[in-house]
Amino acid sequence: MAGSTITVRTDPEVAAQIAFLAEAMDRSRNWVIEDALKQYIQAQSWQLEGIKQAQASLDRGEGIPFEAVMEEMDALIEQTARTRDA
């Protein structure tokens, strides 16, 4: 499969870690870098999608007010403290 070439500058320690992983996994440095990029893109895409969904939820008025969340957290903390002290 033909691909695009990207040049990346990195510090020597990162380059050494890439080389170490490639050798340990019997893969090329290119494979290690591409796999890392794919994982990063997947994680960032997942987070961005979650943020977009949360923003849409807030736009629809489905959010929970900060004060209500803090009251519930305070109640849970008090309950946990009482249980621990008992």
Pairwise CA distance, residues 6 & 30, whole Å: 11
pLDDT score of 68 = 94
Intervals of the chain under pLDDT 70: 1
pLDDT score of 85 = 82
pLDDT score of 46 = 96
DSSP per-residue letters across 22-54: HHHTT--HHHHHHHHHHHHHHHHHHHHHHHHHH
Does the pTM of the predicted model rise above 0.85? no
Pairwise CA distance, residues 26 & 5, whole Å: 22
> Quick check: 32 and 25 in contact, CB under 8 A?
yes
pLDDT score of 29 = 96
Residues in Cβ contact with 49 at an 8 Å cutoff, skipping those fewer than 6 apart: none
